[in-house]
A and B are shown apart, each in its own frame.
Chain A
Amino acid sequence: AQSVTQLDSHVSVSEGTPVLLRCNYSSSYSPSLFWYVQHPNKGLQLLLKYTSAATLVKGINGFEAEFKKSETSFHLTKPSAHMSDAAEYFCVVSVAGGFKTIFGAGTRLFVKA
């Protein structure tokens, strides 16, 4: 069975400081892993994806994530937060061609000036 756990429901950082959003997953098969971002009253936008190639994945807007199979983690990081990063972030695991797509509950990121 597949599952996704986002370890923090809310994260608050100051502008210019690093961002860390944590995600653990479980999967019986080789998964694809994704991070999506949702700004208020908007749809979801893909930040980055892992599909069994490089374990360090770079995405848009300076975000990156590292796939660690031994820790079953796929944490999202950014060196320096910007006010425009304030949004909700979803970690997603997908197997079997995407039919079993499991979303984490989401982490809301607050960025203080």
Chain B
Amino acid sequence: NAGVTQTPKFRVLKTGQSMTLLCAQDMNHEYMYWYRQDPGMGLRLIHYSVGEGTTAKGEVPDGYNVSRLKKQNFLLGLESAAPSQTSVYFCASSYRGLAGLSYNEQFFGPGTRLTVL
């Protein structure tokens, strides 16, 4: 199993350009997540999905859009990149927890380092 993969690994954009980050998982997980990691701030949730065709906003959703057309893929889009979006982006996935339990171990991809000039 490849686990969680992300493409691309690195990208440099100019302000105003658009791009899409792709996340794929081969573990048949129901839930998928997009985070950004900035120095001294841990990881912050951008958007998440609880199943194919569904998405929801996380803690810092502004400036991003997502889609989950297939269970194994979760796309993160930047329509008009800004320097404030310079960050490392991580995708994660997890099984759905049993009813009444909050157990939820997440599996992470290797990250995409994005620089917006």
Question: B-contacting residues of A (Cβ < 8 Å)?
Answer: 4, 9, 29-32, 34, 36, 41-46, 49, 51-52, 90, 94-99, 101, 103-106
Q: Which of B106, B107, B109, B111 contacts A101 (CB 8 A)?
A: B106
Residues of A near B50 (CB, < 8 A) are 99
Residue numbers of B with Cβ under 8 A of A are: 4, 31, 33, 35, 40-45, 48, 50, 56, 90, 92, 94, 96-97, 101-111
- What is the minimal beta-carbon distance from B6 to any residue of chain A, in angstroms? 9
Residue contact A95 to B102, C-beta cutoff 8 Å: yes
A95, B92: Cα distance in complex, Å? 16
Q: Is the CB of A46 within 8 A of B90?
A: no
CA distance A42 to B56 in the complex (A): 26
With A29-B102, A43-B111, A98-B31 known, 15 other A-B pairs at CB within 8 A are A42-B111, A43-B90, A44-B106, A51-B101, A51-B102, A90-B43, A95-B102, A96-B102, A97-B97, A97-B102, A98-B106, A99-B56, A103-B44, A105-B40, A105-B41
How long is the Cα–Cα vector from A33 to B96 in the complex, in angstroms? 16
Is there contact, CB below 8 Å, between B43 and A31?
Answer: no
A-side binding surface: helix, strand, loop or mixed? mixed
Which residues of chain A have C-beta atoms less than 8 A from B94's C-beta? 98
Tell me the smallest distance from the CB of B46 to a CB of chain A, in Å: 12
Known: A43-B90, A43-B110, A97-B96. A49 touches B40 (CB 8 A): no
Partner of A44, one of B41, B44, B108: B108
A49 to B94, CA, bound (A): 14
**Is there an interface contact between A94 and B40, defined as CB atoms closer than 8 Å?**
no
Which residues of chain A are within 8 angstroms of B90 by Cβ–Cβ distance?
Answer: 43-44
Known contacts: A97-B97, A106-B42. The answer to whether A32 contacts B111 by CB under 8 A is no
A-B pairs with beta carbons under 8 Å apart, 20 shown: A30-B102, A31-B102, A32-B102, A32-B103, A43-B90, A43-B108, A43-B111, A44-B90, A44-B108, A45-B108, A46-B107, A51-B101, A97-B96, A97-B102, A98-B94, A98-B102, A98-B106, A99-B48, A103-B43, A104-B42
